[in-house]
Structure 1
């Protein structure tokens, strides 16, 4: 299991999206956690640009004012989500790691 986590300090530019996309691809990430996105809306099309293909699921929490914003993206063939808990300060996912065969997250 490979995880990418980044306090991105704003995800409003194409350059940052491209850098994250390259990092996810190079590292072969199964999960990507992005903090401080400063985004109010996040679409599937936008997340596809970050992840690079259609084999993903994601959850996000909108920024409040000029702070916050979270996105968690994962490979659907690696993790099956069973439950989720969200607040303006966290995203918690519970499920099964398909590759590893153990529960968690």
Structure 2
């Protein structure tokens, strides 16, 4: 099975209503790799990840916001893909993955 990838410009993560919308859509879409842009978060913890994605096997990498703009959160299900490497730049989060099922990069 191919991993499902979702990317979304959430335009601010801190609003409770927005977190509820994100959580509902993630449950509906059942994505394996998720990229949320414009989170406006300075720090991302396991609590924050679990507040929107009810995946026990979630891992993540993030780029903190710069003031009131930016912020990227990339999450993935470790049962489906394994992160091989990542790069967090000034305005970029890049990751390479391999599928757990067949080691395909």
1:21 counterpart (7, 14, 23): 23
| TM-score, structure 2 normalization | 0.90
**TM-score, length-scaled by structure 1:** 0.90
Structure 2 unaligned regions, length at least 5: none
Distance 1:18 1:58, change over 3 A: same
1:91 equivalent to 2:93? Answer yes
User: What is the count of residue pairs matched by the alignment?
Assistant: 103
Q: What is the CA–CA distance in structure 2 between the aligned matches of 1:100 and 1:12, rounded to whole Å?
A: 37
Question: 8 Å contact 1:62–1:88 — kept in the other structure?
Answer: no
Could you list the structure 1 runs, at least 4 aligned residues long, displaced by more than 4 angstroms after superposition. none
2:20 is paired with a residue of what secondary structure? helix
Q: Equivalents in 1 of 2:27, 2:16: separation in Å?
A: 17
Q: Which runs of 5+ in 1 are unaligned?
A: none
Q: Closer, same or farther in 2 for the Cα pair 1:101/1:82, shift >3 Å?
A: closer
Partner of 1:72: 74
